[in-house]
């Protein structure tokens, strides 16, 4: 039986959470244009200030724990769990909300794939980031719609010196090779930042405890190769102390194999010859006098990927029909495009108020073919108007109010295999309120209530799901009301503490309804779910040589519309702990332990709880150079985050990084 741990028992475990700790703060400067905040207190230029209900992962932490992709980096946070789906994609859940409901942004610009709203967090490397900002439940209305449970914002780098940078190389088991380089220059009136990264591996090793099946014999995981490379370039102008204009270009290319399920009844022989993204972004901030400013974001994203379906594990003959085929020619090609922009007007003209008005327009286009003909063409336009006001009720007490209106309009609907009628437009209005009390030298107490909406994706409305589903173009938006009380700060000494109690009521959740037509299912607005939980993170130095930290998450999800149907993909508990020991100035040993409870894969399959440990030894022969050796999954645990898709066993890695 699934073990449920409620908020009452969570409070009883608070001492454990304080003992195992959380992430440390970093003084690294961040790219101010790329942050998105509900500002209760002013932030210093180039730093992330108090974005009340958010968590932050800094560049230092990503390096400390060797998190080379965004999914692994997010796994450091409380309330966040990571999984791997049947398409060999790394997926992320935030307090039980998936990545369609907590979308990904880069410098405040949405980057989720238009067709299904998902992204593969394995494809996004971290070498050119300065931080990752995660808002949970209560998030700025300037993010726009679809932030049902929050938002994930990748903040890029900005140089602060005349010349600065770093370079790294690495090698690991499975013939993994990594390399990255970043260089930047800030000349006062202008700056430039460039980066490149590359990760490639032939396979990964399964645990020695894995039991072979008809589709996986153990050892090196079948069809688990991958390659990802990324280029980024940013050019900025800073003509004065208040104005900034930045143009960014990104190009990332990837390819991967999709390991077959270890259960022969669900096996697919798929490969992805390319998963590419190309983007150009413009962001600016201009003062319009002493009390007003305007921030502009313009963006163009291109997502191109292809999947090939083969008849067997030789991967030589394309499968052209039947179960598991992705198109009549055994190959499906997606070409998705996003064009959009936003304008945000900020005013501090009125006494004790920080007022923001934002307008966004986002146009998504999805085209698919089977290499023989165009099979799908969809276009959506999303319009959003938001108002946010932060009112200083007293010196240390701030009231934050926000309201946002959004409209989804279907412009083009074409599907060759099964024509569907044009759906009508749909709109939603949401509001939120937060109260924030800043305690001098101690931290911040806050309480928030946020109404949020997620519009259905193109795939939600139109996909046939390989012939297994009936489209539903009339799907409506999911709704949630998120409640939270919490604390962030340093209550005593050098102990940094963050804790939150939260509750989310979700209605009109899009769920699968079986046997609606000829044994086919359909996605419908039938779900009502309540999520309750508690998060705790803490970190503190102990003496001159030790640092301890960790996180604790307890989560209870209740399917109120259908109690007999399990809510899948997310464990009811997660605990992480780390201990760093520095016996001398140039040496460090780091142990990181993670435990997650069981999770339901379906109504009948529950995946086991697991515990893993990673160990790393670091040495700095000189201040600028770091040499590292590490073992991941130290105890060689055999565990799965998705049924039929085991995770890597014990893996070794070495790498070197030079900073200047």
The token pair that represents 167 in the structure block: 């370079």
The pLDDT-based confidence of 24 (bands split at 50, 70, 90) is very low
Indicate the burial class of 341 (C-beta count within 10 angstroms; 0-12, 13-18, 19 or more): middle
Percent of the chain beyond pLDDT 70? 92
Cβ atoms within 10 Å of 313's Cβ, excluding its own: 13
Residue with tokens 């259908």: 562
Please write the tens of the pLDDT for every residue from 293-334.
999 999 999 999 999 999 999 999 998 866 566 766 789 999
How far, in Å, are 80, 81, 93, 356 from residue 149 at the CA level?
12, 14, 10, 22
The pLDDT value recorded for residue 190 is 98
222 pLDDT higher than 50: yes
Cα distances from 51 to residues 56, 139, 333, 485, 627, in angstroms, run 9, 9, 40, 14, 35
Q: What mean pLDDT do residues 587-616 have?
A: 96
The residues facing 609 across adjacent strands are none
In 10 A of CB 196, how many CB atoms? 19
Q: What is the pLDDT of residues 403-448, one digit of tens each?
A: 999 999 999 999 887 777 778 899 999 999 999 999 988 999 999 9
* Residue 323 pLDDT: 57
CA-to-CA separations, 348 to 42, 397, 404, 420, in angstroms, rounded: 12, 17, 20, 49
Given this model, what pLDDT does residue 48 score? Answer: 35
Q: Tell how strand 150-156 and strand 164-172 pair up.
A: unpaired
Q: Residue-wise over 502-539: b if at least 16 C-beta within 10 A, else e? A: bbbbbebbbbeeeeeeeeebbbbbebbbebbbbbbbbb
**Residue 8 in this model has a pLDDT that exceeds 50:** no
Residue 469: count of CB within 10 angstroms of its CB:
18
Task: Give which of 632, 646, 639 is closest to 173, Cα–Cα.
Answer: 632
- 3-class secondary structure, 459: helix
Using CA atoms, how far apart are residues 203 and 227, in angstroms rounded to an integer? 11
* Token representation of residue 293: 């400013």
The pLDDT-based confidence of 29 (bands split at 50, 70, 90) is low
Q: Is 1 a domain residue?
A: no
SS3 content of the chain, % helix, strand, coil (to 5): 5, 60, 35
- Percent of the chain whose pLDDT exceeds 90: 76
Q: Which two tokens stand for residue 145?
A: 């719609």
Choice among 30-44, 101-115, 566-580 with the minimum mean pLDDT: 30-44
Q: What is the pLDDT of residues 458-483, one digit of tens each?
A: 988 988 887 788 889 889 999 999 99
Banded model confidence at residue 338, pLDDT cuts 50, 70, 90: very high
Contacts made by residues 307-314, CB under 8 angstroms, sequence distance 24+: 307/258, 307/270, 307/271, 307/272, 307/331, 307/332, 308/270, 308/271, 308/272, 308/273, 309/268, 309/269, 309/270, 310/269, 310/270, 310/271, 311/269, 312/269, 313/215, 313/222, 313/223, 313/260, 313/269
Q: Output 11 or 112, whichever has higher pLDDT.
A: 112
Q: Quick check: 55 pLDDT over 90?
A: no
- pLDDT of 156 above 70: yes
Specify if 413 maps to a domain. Answer: yes
| Paired strand residues for 592 | 578, 614
Measure the CA dihedral 540/166/231/174, to 10°.
Answer: -70
CA–CA gap between residue 261 and residue 246 (Å, rounded): 45
Residue 512 pLDDT: 83
Domain assignment present for 403: yes
Alpha carbon distances (Å) from 570 to 254, 499, 556, 607:
27, 20, 10, 10
The rounded distance, in Å, linking the Cα atoms of 439 and 215 is 59
Contact 49, 42 (CB under 8 A): yes
**Distance separating alpha carbons of residues 592 and 334, to the nearest angstrom:** 39
CA distance 172 to 175: 6
What's the whole-model pTM score?
A: 0.91
Task: Calculate the CA dihedral of residues 9, 12, 14, 16 and round it to 10 degrees.
Answer: -100
The neighbour count for residue 84, using CB atoms within 10 Å, is: 20
Look at residue 2 and tell me if it is in a domain: no
**Cα 83 from Cα 75, distance rounded (Å):** 10
Contact 655, 170 (CB under 8 A): yes
Q: Is residue 50 part of a domain?
A: yes
**Residue 10 or residue 275, greater confidence:** 275
The CATH number given to whatever domain includes residue 338 is 2.40.170.20
Residue 468 lies in a domain: yes
Instruction: Tell me the residue range of the domain where 281 lies.
Output: 7-659
**What pLDDT does 318 receive?**
93
Give the pLDDT of residue 593. 98
pLDDT for the residue numbered 22:
33
Q: Are 306 and 273 in contact (CB under 8 A)?
A: yes
Q: What is the pLDDT of residue 295?
A: 96
State the total domains in the chain: 1
Write down the pLDDT at residue 4. 36
Parallel/antiparallel/unpaired status of strands 164-172 and 176-186:
antiparallel
DSSP calls for 360-373: EEEEEEEEEE-SSS
Task: Give residue 327's pLDDT.
Answer: 65
- Residue 359, domain member (yes or no): yes
Strand partners, 163: none
The pair phi, psi for residue 322, each rounded to 5°, is: 90, -175
Band of the pLDDT at 38, cuts 50, 70, 90? low
d(CA 134, CA 659): 27
pLDDT at 10: 32
pLDDT of residue 158: 95
The half-sphere exposure of 346 on its side-chain side, counting CA atoms within 13 A, is: 15
| Contact residues for 656 (Cβ-Cβ < 8 A; gap 6+) | 168, 169, 170, 625, 626, 627, 628
> Between β-strands 150-156 and 104-106, what pairing exists: parallel, antiparallel or unpaired?
parallel
């Amino acid at each position: 039986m699934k073990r449920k741990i409620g908020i009452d028992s969570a409070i009883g475990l608070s001492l454990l959470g304080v003992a195992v700790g959380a992430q440390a703060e970093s003084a690294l400067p961040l790219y101010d244009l790329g942050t998105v905040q509900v500002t209760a207190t002013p932030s210093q230029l180039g730093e992330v200030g108090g974005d009340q209900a958010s968590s932050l992962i800094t560049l230092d932490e990503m390096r400390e724990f060797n998190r080379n992709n965004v999914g692994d980096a997010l796994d450091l946070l409380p309330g966040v769990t990571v999984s791997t789906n049947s398409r060999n994609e790394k997926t992320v859940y935030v307090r039980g909300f998936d990545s369609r409901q907590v979308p990904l942004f880069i410098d405040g610009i949405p980057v989720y794939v238009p067709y299904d709203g998902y992204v593969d967090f394995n494809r996004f490397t971290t070498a050119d980031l300065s931080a990752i900002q995660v808002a949970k439940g209560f998030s700025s209305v300037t993010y726009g719609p679809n932030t049902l449970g929050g938002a994930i914002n990748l903040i890029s780098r900005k140089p602060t010196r005349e010349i600065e940078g770093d370079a790294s190389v690495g090698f690991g088991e499975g013939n993994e090779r990594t390399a990255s380089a970043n260089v930047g220059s800030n000349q006062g009136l202008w700056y430039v930042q460039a980066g490149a990264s590359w990760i490639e591996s032939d396979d990964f090793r399964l645990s020695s405890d894995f039991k072979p099946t008809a589709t996986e014999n153990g050892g090196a995981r079948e069809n688990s190769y991958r390659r990802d490379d990324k280029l980024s370039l940013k050019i900025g102008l800073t003509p004065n102390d208040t104005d900034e204009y930045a143009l960014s270009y990104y190009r990332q290319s990837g390819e991967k194999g999709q390991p077959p399920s270890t259960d022969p009844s669900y096996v697919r022989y798929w490969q992805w010859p390319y998963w590419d993204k190309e983007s150009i972004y413009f962001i600016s901030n201009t003062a319009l006098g002493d009390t007003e400013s305007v921030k502009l974001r313009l963006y163009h994203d291109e997502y191109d990927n292809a999947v090939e379906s083969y008849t067997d594990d030789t991967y030589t003959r394309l499968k052209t029909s039947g179960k598991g085929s992705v198109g009549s020619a055994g190959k499906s090609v997606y070409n998705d495009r996003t064009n959009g922009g936003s304008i945000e007007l900020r005013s501090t003209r009125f006494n004790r108020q920080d007022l923001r008005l934002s307008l966004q327009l986002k146009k998504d286009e999805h085209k698919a073919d089977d290499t023989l003909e165009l099979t799908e063409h969809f276009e959506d336009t999303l319009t959003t108007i938001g108002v946010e006001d932060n009112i200083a009720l007293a010196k240390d007490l701030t009231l934050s109010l926000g309201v946002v209106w959004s409209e989804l309009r279907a412009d083009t609907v074409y599907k060759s295999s099964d024509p569907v009628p044009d759906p009508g437009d749909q709109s939603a209005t949401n509001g939120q309120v937060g109260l924030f009390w800043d305690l001098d030298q101690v931290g911040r107490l806050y309480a928030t209530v946020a109404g949020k909406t997620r519009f259905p994706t193109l795939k939600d409305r139109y996909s046939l799901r390989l012939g297994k589903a009936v489209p539903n173009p009339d799907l409506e938006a999911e709704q949630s009301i998120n409640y939270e009380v919490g604390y962030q700060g340093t209550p005593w000494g050098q102990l940094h503490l963050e804790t939150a109690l939260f509750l989310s009521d979700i209605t009109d959740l899009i769920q699968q309804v079986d046997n609606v037509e000829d044994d086919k299912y359909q996605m419908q607005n039938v779900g009502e779910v309540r999520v309750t939980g508690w998060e705790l993170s803490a970190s503190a130095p102990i003496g001159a040589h030790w640092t301890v930290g960790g996180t604790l998450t307890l989560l209870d999800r209740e399917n109120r519309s259908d109690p007999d149907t399990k809510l899948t993909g997310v464990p009811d508990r997660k605990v992480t702990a780390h201990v760093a020991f520095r016996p001398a100035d140039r040496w460090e040993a780091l142990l990181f332990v993670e435990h997650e409870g069981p999770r339901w894969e379906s109504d009948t399959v529950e995946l086991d709880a697991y515990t893993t440990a990673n160990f790393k030894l670091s040495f700095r022969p000189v201040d600028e150079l770091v040499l590292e050796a590490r073992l991941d999954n130290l105890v060689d645990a055999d565990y799965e985050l998705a049924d039929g898709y085991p995770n890597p066993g014990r893996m070794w890695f070495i790498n070197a990084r030079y900073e200047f």
